Structure 1
Amino acid sequence: MNRRFLFVLGSSRPDGNTELLAREAAAQLPAEVEQQWIRLAEHPLPDFVDLRHDSDHVRPPADTTAGLLLDSTLAATDIVIASPLYWYSVSGHTKRYLDYWSAWLRTPGVDFKATMAGRTLWGITALADREPSVADPLVGTLNNSAAYLGMHFGGVLLGSGSAPGDVREDTDALTRAKTFFAQEAPLARFPHQRA
């Protein structure tokens, strides 16, 4: 399968620092790698309803936001969650998208967990703090989601920026962006698992 990147933009505003950093990293991908960009604010998902114990799970129609996101997620070899750091974790738009993964696990004919196994999850975020450890909850959310599904986890590219365009001044993040997707992503593990 040729590599196909899905960039899931979780910011509530276009062209924010996280998106700028994601586009810098994406510019380094080879031309033959297909890229799809979805801005969640332009494709809002309805509130997630947990129907785990109900039996009426159906595949969302392709012409709905949930259908678009499911089909795009299933078609990707690499999923990039580009979410600003909001209250030490992913944005609300991003969290809702990840909540839908729970529904897709039970969608007939999808076999979401088996399909996602072996694919790669990446994260990109901008934070308004120079201390990278404040992003640990965001990193944990993505790592643990990847581990649960048997995915590889490429880590999180962190950039510093609060006001629009600030990340362009973070030369370390811009340097890391040049090789971020070139690294081999290990199989994700829960923190309590041994290698």
Structure 2
Amino acid sequence: MSTRRFLFVLGSARDEGNTELLARRAAEQLPADVEQTWISLVEHPLPDFEDLRHDSDHVRPTEGSAALLLDATLAATDLVIASPLYWYTLSAQTKRYLDHWSGWLRTPGVDFKATLAGRTLWGVSALAHEETVVADPLVGALQNSAAYLGMRFGGVLFGNGSKPGDVLGDTEALARAKTFFAREAPLARFPYEN
């Protein structure tokens, strides 16, 4: 896979919210030959996840939001989860997307885990709090998911903002956005492995 393909999964309940604005600022810095796909989980909602691990065979989705997101996820070299901090963790839409990974791991012919191994998971999040330590559950969910799949983890780009557009006043976040995707992402590890 020579061409880098970034998939931006937008998990905000608000169109063009602070998290999306920050993600777009970071994406502006990517080289012109990097492919970008943007998918809003509000515009392409997934059904509630049903855990069928021990009950039935999984079937690859062939239409609708699940098929779109599965195919886009498998095609991405770099997966960017852009979720605002809601109650100290990922948004409901984003969590539902990650829950569907459990089904895709067990879908015959998909090889979800093997396909994503070695690829890079990134996070972008806006929060209405000065201390990013309150977002540790969000970071942990992404880092541990990357570790489980054998992915690289580029960390989370944080910005501060509550009202729409607030993040554009966070000059430190905008400065970090300029180099965020240029960093080398290490292989993800579970916290107990560090």
TM-score bracket, shorter-length normalisation:
over 0.9
Distance 1:170 1:123 in 2: 17
* Uncovered stretches (5+) of structure 1, i.e. residues with no partner: none
User: What TM-score do the two structures reach when normalised by structure 2?
Assistant: 0.98
Once the two structures are superposed, residues 65-101 of structure 1 have per-residue CA deviations (whole angstroms, 9 ceiling, x without a partner) of: 1000000000000000000000000000000000000
Q: Which residue of 2 aligns with 1:53?
A: 54
Q: C-alpha displacement at 1:180, in angstroms?
A: 0.1
Q: C-alpha displacement at 1:54, in angstroms?
A: 2.3
* Uncovered stretches (5+) of structure 2, i.e. residues with no partner: none
Instruction: Report SS of the residue matched to 1:80.
Output: strand
Distance 2:174 2:191 in 1: 28
Q: C-alpha displacement at 1:56, in angstroms?
A: 1.7
Distance 1:130 1:5 in 2: 29
Distance 1:40 1:95 in 2: 10
Distance 1:168 1:56 in 2: 47
- RMSD of Structure 2 on Structure 1 (CA): 0.6
Q: Which residue of 2 aligns with 1:69?
A: 69
Structure 1 runs of 4+ aligned residues shifted over 3 Å read: none
Q: Which residue of 2 aligns with 1:112?
A: 112
AA of the residue aligned to 1:57: H
User: What TM-score do the two structures reach when normalised by structure 1?
Assistant: 0.98
Matched length: 193
Instruction: Report SS of the residue matched to 2:187.
Output: coil
Q: C-alpha displacement at 1:55, in angstroms?
A: 3.3
Distance 2:45 2:70 in 1: 13
Q: Which residue of 2 aligns with 1:100?
A: 100
1:18-167 alignment, distance < 5 Å: 18-61=19-62, 63-167=63-167
- Over the matched positions of the two proteins, sequence identity in percent amounts to 77
Q: C-alpha displacement at 1:64, in angstroms?
A: 1.4
Distance 1:175 1:101 in 2: 33
